[in-house]
Every structure is written in C-alpha cells, then in structure tokens.
A and B are shown apart, each in its own frame.
Chain A
Amino acid sequence: MSDTDVLFDLTPSEEQQMTREVMRRFAREEMAAAARPADEAGALPEGFLRKTVELGLNFMPIPEALGGVGAGRSPVSNVLNTEDLARGDMSMAIAALAPLAMINCVMDYGTDAQKEEVSQALATADFTPAAMALMEPGIGFDARRLNTSAVRQSDGSYVLDGAKSMVAFGPQARLLLVFAASGDAGTQGFILSGDSAGVSFEKEDYMGLRPLPLYAMTLDKVAVPASARLRDDFDPGRLLSLGKIATAALAVGTCQAVLDYVVPYVKERTAFGEPISNRQAVAFMVADMATELEGLRLMVYRAAAQAERGLDCTRAAFLAHRNAVKYGMKIGTDGVQLLGGHGFTRSHPVEMYYRNLRALAMLDGMLLA
C-alpha cells in the first residue's frame, strides 16, 4: 500500500488504545481530585511530578541507544496523551508534559550531542524539570518576530538578550530551550541550564494555570556556546505548528472535563419540578458543546496525523488552534453558565476550567505535538 492509498481512519493503534487507558486512569485518580486544592494552593500536589515518571512519557521518543524506548516521534500519540491528561487538569498536564516538549524538539532538530545531553538529563528515574521558553511579555506577541536576540560572536558563540514569560519551572529547570531571533538566520533555539550566568527569574501570577510554576525570565548578556544551538535545519514554522496542535489538544481535554461535569449536574439539578436538562434552553447548550468539541477534536487529530506523515500541517494546525481558542473558551463560559450562581463559586470546578481555558489564546510553544 503506497502512502497515498492510506484510508481515512479514526481507529487508534492498539498501543495507543492501551496508553489511553493508562493516561485516563492517571488523570482520574491522580489529577482530577487534586486539581482544586492545587489551584487554591497555587502549587502542584506534593509528589505529583514524580508519579508522572511512571507514565514513561519522556522515554518514548528517545532512541534505545540513548536509554529510551525508541518508539519514534509520534505527534498523534502526543495529542492523545495531552488530551487525556488535560481532562484531569490542564495545569498539571502542562507541568507533566513540558520536559517532553523539549525532548521532542531536540529529537527533531538537535545535534547528536544535544540528543545525548537531553536524554541523559531528562529520561531519568526521577522527574527532572525542563521547559521551552518561546513566549515574551506584553501585548501582541508574534512568535515569528521574537524580541529576544541572539548575537553571534566572532568565535561562533552567541550572546542572548531579552525577556521571556510563562517559562515553566523557571530557576528549578535543569534545562531550558530558549528561542531567540538571530539576525538574518531568523529564529534559533538554544539549550541552556536554568542557572546560567545572566539569567534571572521572577515568579508570575495568572488568572488560571495556578498550580503551574510559571516565571518571567530575563536574559542579560547570556553567553552560550555554538554547541548549544539547534541544528541548521531547525524549522521554526513547523515548531510553531506543532505547538498550536498541542495547545488545541489541551483545549479538547479540558473541554471534555467541562462536559463530563455539566452533564450529570444538569440531570440532577431540578427547577420548576423537573431536571433542568429537560429544557431545550439547557439541553441545546449541551448539544452544541458536544458538537463543537467533537469538531475540534477531529481538527486536532487531522493536524497531528498530517505532522506524523510528514505532510505540511501549517493550515490544519492554524485552524485547529483558532477553533480551540474560540470554542474552548465558549465551552468554558457555557460550563459556568449551566451551573448558574453555583458555577461562579469555587465549590465547583467549572470556574477553574473557565480560568484555565482562557490561557489557550496565549500559550505558544509550551507543549508540542
């Protein structure tokens, strides 16, 4: 069967189906119940990150020779995992998957030495914090025009200057993959450790994603060797597309959590002598949530499957992301609406989903498909 004869198919592989069961159980048992206390505390649950190591996520794309499983890069598996974990909690899902994003990017575009360095540091028995640093502070961030600069020195090394935001783990990160504009060479990626000279962090505080440790990062004349730069064939456009797909997958999982919560609620809550779900005004809102969520899910799968087959996924990724921002937030706000005043209180998770879902519009390059 040649590549163009591949049929339209929505059946996950056996491997993916088994993994989904594991992820869903983990999301149910280790994440969903812990989400509210973690949101209130503004910190990840004690021991949560260590437990995620048992999921083996980081080992999958790393070749056997470097201590991994050697399953190869699979954008489809990545979005399934992202969806299933986000169904438990979006903040915790991002924390768990942030190092994997860096691993995936290095497997795609790193030198052999970088692959080895990242594998040794991150494919470990304990959770090692690591993250990608793409976003920058302020209004109007454009990932194609970064303000952080990387100036090439006469000896081939680079000096990085600028400011990043929403950097997961910040000073605790063992490794960070920082993106900067390098003159005519365009966007380049550099691997550095969180404690590099000239790097400083300040904790950030957001309306949502509260358990996730996010930091503003300042780079002041940070010297990095030429060996820290990703390969010459690094494709920033593809990186951004993979990032958009992953963000949209977060939307799918979180919106599924909204739906999971509101369906039993509207069936139990009575008004005027019967369940409010018997009223079309309520039922049709639920129907639209389910329909738009399913449409979004398929868009995410299509974009990821294109990436997996090596097809150009720019358009599909852009459109999936666009609908994730639009319908993700719509489902988030409708989730609160369906619970009425109760939805506005912190006794129910829908207000937390609402706050988390707003982040979809600004998350860029934090996770990868």
Chain B
Amino acid sequence: MINLELPKRLEDTRALLRQFSAGGLRPLSRKYDLLEQQAMPQELYDLGKLLGGGRNRAAGGSEEPAGANRNGNNMFMVLSSAELCWGDVGLFLALPNVGLGNAAVSAVATDEQKEEWGELFASMAITEPGAGSDSAAIRTTAVLDGDEWVINGEKIFVTSGYRSKQVVVWASLDLKLGKAAIKSFLVPKGTPGMTVTRVEHKLGIRASDTAQIVFENCRVPKANLLGNPEIAKTAEDRKKAFGGVMQTFDNTRPMVAAQGLGVARAALDLTLELLKQKGIELDFEKSYHQMSAIESDLYDMEADYEAARLLVLKAAWMADNKQPNSMNASMSKAKAGRMGNQVALKCVEICGQLGYSKAQLLEKFARDSKIIDIYEGTQQIQQLIIARQVLGKGSSELK
C-alpha cells in the first residue's frame, strides 16, 4: 500500500534525535567551528555513547516477516543522519562511533581482530592527490612481504584521519590490474610508517578534522586486509569485484544525501523563526498572486526540501527491501546535495545582515552545506551515474 509517512517507531526515534541534536550538538556548534580541529570535542565521547545506546534499541525494532515490506536500518540511518546534521554537520562527522571506516571493519573483521583492534573509531582513506572521483586510479600500493603487507602512498581528505584510532586505507596489490586489485587495509594509529602530515583548514565542517596521511613502508599483519585477498582472474570477474566495492556507495550515498536534508532543515527552521518576528509566516493555501518575493522563495525551498527528502527516503527504502537502487541513490545525493547548498545560501540572503553575521548560525550552515554536494561523489558524478542509467550507456561511451 502506497504510504509515504513514517511509522510511529521511526517518527519517535527521529523526534528523540532532534532533541539530542538541539540539546547536545547545537550548544557546541559555534565553539568548535571557531576552535576548528585543534582538539577532539571531548563532549562528543559522552554524546556518542548516549547515541550508540539509542541506536541499538531503535534499529532492533524492525520485525517484519521475510518478504514483507521493511523499514529497516537504511531508513533508520538516513533519518538519524538528517537529524544529527540538523544539529551540526561537523560535529556529526566528528562523533567517534560514526567513523566511515567502522562499517567497513564491522562487516568483515573476525572476533579476534575486533578484540585486538579495540574500540573502533576508524576513518576511511581513499582520495589521493591524483585521484578523487575516479577512485580506481589510486596509486597507493600494498606488497606482501612475508606475513606483512607493506603500504606506500599518500592519502588526502581523510575525514577524522587525525583523531581516529584506526585508518582503513585503500591500496592496490598490483597497479597493472586496475580496479580489481584495490583492497582495503586496517592500520592502527601508531603503526610505524603511517604519519598524519597535515590537517586541512576548510570553508566549513570545521569541527571535523580532515587529514593528509603518508604511508612510507608501513607494515601491517597479513590479516589486516579487509575482505577477500584474492584478485579476480578474468576481466569479467575483476569488473564484478570492483562493482562490489562501489555498491557500498548505493547504501552510503542516501545517508550522505540525508546530511543535506539536515542542514537545509536547520537553515529553513531558523529562517522561519527569524521571519516570524517580522510577521512573515507560511500559509500553504495562499494564492501565487498574493505572495511576496520572499514568501515565494520560502515555498520554493520547502518544495525542493520535500522532493529531496522523499528521494532520500525512497533510496533508503529500496536498499532496505533489497531492490537495486544505484540510480535512486545517486538521484537522492544529486538532489539533496544541491538543494541543501542552495537552501542554506538562500536563507543567508533572505535574512540579510543577520544571515551573514556570526551572531546567527545561518552563515555557518551555508559554509557547512557546500561539502555535502562534493564528498561521497560530487554533483557531477551523480549526474553522470543517473544519465548512464537513464540513457543505458556504459562508462566508455558517456565519460
């Protein structure tokens, strides 16, 4: 039965997370935006624990029989990402237990490894100075020497790379074999040969650290290769192997898209609150001919927010129900990425001096929102993926 409202269970969780964001993250927003990435926001350890407990309870609540419609973990993750980013995108990224590498490790690590590696706070090192959106072009290598992998290369834009306790690094076992030879490795902090060489100073999400990491003959045990160590033999199998790696993006893209929802909602809520003091309120029955220019902008933003929100929910719902969602995941990211940025910028414009001033958080939302249209696949990469699907084109034709 077609229904696009959330069940009470998820609606309640959403409301709780909003409270958490309003009471836990927002009060820290300005402080850590100014402090940038000098120190780990200590408050986040306690907040993270609080959140972790709530997550286990909420995600375990789905008990639909096999084959029935599910609102599962993907749906939960997009809703929680949106709510936490309503609080603060930078602090959300800096939360110890949402490290991007955590999911990758949890999926494949043995119990002994989990024990050995201790509490997980794993960052994900993929991008290199010469390889951004084209992640198959990475040059970092891993060579087996006895019982150890020897890793060499340079990684940039590693979210939480400085503060995390482990780094999951993508490296090639054989540069000649292309995509299929790319594997991921867990490198605990303090491993000789791995050095954080710089942290970036950024436009936004300043509470989150973004690191450059250099690997120089960095040695890790053989077992630290995550997943299958075999390189696919045939060209067909190699394509499939890398496809499997890229498939994880079908799940993560809606979650990152949800960050755009969070920041847009935050900007809109604050703008509406400020405008209310000026006597401007939305009336969803108003005739187009009766609207002021500012009201017209507000309705447009609400409508675009709604479109993006439903695209995100659909992509997550498809993932929960094991439907192929590659195109929908990209649609959600393309729409929510650009909407979040446009809305946040427009809200600054509408609120004028107050919007631009550091006296309010609107200017921060506008700075934070930009990266959401860039990381986890830029706007243009998403358009490319959507276009290939709609037009039935391969990557060799539509480049």
Interface positions of A (Cβ within 8 A of B):
2, 4-13, 16, 76, 139-144, 237, 240, 259, 263, 266-267, 275, 277-278, 280, 283-284, 286-288, 290-292, 294-296, 298-299, 301-302, 304-306, 309, 311, 314-316, 318-320, 322-323, 326, 361
4 shortest A-B CB distances, which residue pairs? A295-B307, A298-B310, A283-B387, A302-B4
Are A11 and B335 closer than 8 Å at their CB atoms? no
Distance between Cα atoms of A5 and B284 in the complex (Å): 27
Known contacts A8-B10, A237-B285, A319-B302; 8 additional CB pairs below 8 A are A7-B7, A8-B75, A9-B2, A76-B2, A277-B393, A286-B391, A294-B314, A299-B306
- CB-CB under 8 A from B64, the residues of chain A are 7
Distance between Cα atoms of A323 and B299 in the complex (Å): 10
Are A10 and B2 closer than 8 Å at their CB atoms? yes
Out of A286, A294, A316, name the residue touching B331 (CB < 8 Å).
A294
Partner-binding segment picked from B34-42, B235-243, B268-276, B378-386: B378-386
- CB-CB under 8 A from B71, the residues of chain A are 7-8
Distance between Cα atoms of A145 and B74 in the complex (Å): 46
| Distance from A64 Cβ to chain B, minimum over Cβ atoms (Å) | 23
Given contacts A278-B398, A283-B391, contact A301 B7 (CB under 8 A): no
Are A299 and B307 closer than 8 Å at their CB atoms? yes
Say whether B66 faces chain A, with CB atoms less than 8 Å apart: no
Are B313 and A8 closer than 8 Å at their CB atoms? yes
Are B2 and A284 closer than 8 Å at their CB atoms? no
Are B3 and A309 closer than 8 Å at their CB atoms? yes
Are B311 and A291 closer than 8 Å at their CB atoms? yes
Out of A12, A142, A290, name the residue touching B287 (CB < 8 Å).
A142
- CB-CB under 8 A from B386, the residues of chain A are 287, 290-291
Out of A299, A305, A306, A318, name the residue touching B285 (CB < 8 Å).
A318
Say whether B215 faces chain A, with CB atoms less than 8 Å apart: no
| Distance from B2 Cβ to chain A, minimum over Cβ atoms (Å) | 5
Distance between Cα atoms of A9 and B70 in the complex (Å): 8
Out of A6, A144, A326, name the residue touching B5 (CB < 8 Å).
A6
- CB-CB under 8 A from A299, the residues of chain B are 303, 306-307, 310
Determine the main DSSP class of B at the interface with A. Answer: helix
Are A287 and B3 closer than 8 Å at their CB atoms? no
Are B331 and A322 closer than 8 Å at their CB atoms? no
Say whether B6 faces chain A, with CB atoms less than 8 Å apart: yes
Given contacts A11-B69, A319-B299, contact A296 B307 (CB under 8 A): yes
Say whether B162 faces chain A, with CB atoms less than 8 Å apart: no
Distance between Cα atoms of A298 and B303 in the complex (Å): 12
- CB-CB under 8 A from B136, the residues of chain A are none
| Distance from B68 Cβ to chain A, minimum over Cβ atoms (Å) | 9
Closest to B392 in A: A267
Are A287 and B5 closer than 8 Å at their CB atoms? no
Say whether B390 faces chain A, with CB atoms less than 8 Å apart: yes
Given contacts A237-B285, A287-B386, contact A5 B311 (CB under 8 A): no
Say whether B290 faces chain A, with CB atoms less than 8 Å apart: yes
Distance between Cα atoms of A6 and B3 in the complex (Å): 8
- CB-CB under 8 A from A319, the residues of chain B are 284, 299, 302-303, 306
